[in-house]
Amino acid sequence: MEQTKRINLHTLLGMHAAGEKITVLTCYDATFARVLDLAGVDVLLVGDSLGMVLGGMPTTLSVDMATMVYHTSCVARGARRPWLIADMPFGSYHESPAQAFTNAARLIQAGAQMVKVEGGEWVAPTIRFLVERGMPVCAHVGFTPQAVHALGGFRIQGKNDAAVQQLLRDAEAVAGAGAQMLVLELVPSPVTELLAARIGIPVIGIGAGSHCAGQVLVLHDMLGITQGPVPRFVRNFLHGATSIQEAVANYVAAVKARQFPDDTTHGY
C-alpha cells in the first residue's frame, strides 16, 4: 500500500531520536519525484548539483535562483510524502541575512519546506535570521561545493587536527544558530562520529561514513548513469534491479538496514 502521510520536520526529528536512518536523494523534476516518493525516500533535495548533473557544468556555481525556483516547483508537484529541501544557490545568501530571506522565501513559495545553505561559522547569523522568521534550515559543512575553488577542488576535509577543530566549530555554530539538519560531505568516518556526537540535530552524510543519522546521494550517481568520474563512496543500486523504482527502494532498504554506506571509501 502506498504511504501517503506527509513527512514533516517533527517526523524527521523523531526518526533521529529513535535511531532510524533518514534516506535522502537529490531530485530535479516531477517524474523522478514521484518515483522516489513511491520507493519510500524520506527526503528529496533539489540540489544545485543540477547544474552539473543536468546542465553539464563543471561546478554548481553558475546555477541561479530562477533555475532553483523552477526545479523546486517541479519536484513539489511530483512529491506527496517526502520532505522537500531546496539548495540556496551561490550568491543568493552571501550578501546579507535580508538577501537570504528574500531568496529563501522564493524557494518556500515554490514548494520547498526547508532551505539549505553552505558554510560554517560565517553563515550562522543568516541561519538564525531565517529560523527566527519561520524558515527551517539545513546547514552544510565539510566539503562545500560552492567553495570548490577556495578548497582546491573536490577534496576530503578534516584531515588534520586544525581542520577537525574548525569543522567542529562550524557544526556547533550552525546548530547553535538553529539549523535543524546538517549535511556533512567528504569527511573521514572517525571525524563524522565525533562531530555527530557534539550536536543534537540529524547529520546527513555524503562520503562521510556510517556514523550519520541519514545518507544522501546524487540520484544519477546511485543509478549509475553519471557521465564521467563517480565518487568512490557511491554504489550503483540500479545494478541487478529491474527498474529505477526498485533500485531506489534498494537504496532505501540498504540505508535503513545500515548496510550502506561503509567506512572504507571516501573521496572522489
Angle at 130 between CA 126 and CA 132, to 5 degrees: 115
**Among candidates 241, 236, 194, 197, which has minimal Cα distance to 219?**
236
Q: Where are the alpha helices (H) located in the chain, listed in sequence order?
A: 9-18, 30-38, 50-53, 65-78, 97-110, 124-132, 161-176, 189-198, 219-222, 244-256
d(CA 208, CA 66): 31
Identify whether 132 is a catalytic site residue. no
The one catalytic residue in 121, 185, 193, 246 is 185
- C-alpha to C-alpha distances, 144 to 3, 149, 157, 161, nearest whole angstrom: 33, 10, 10, 19
Copy the grid coordinates of residue 22: 533518514
Rg of the Cα trace of the chain?
Answer: 17
Catalytic amino acids?
185
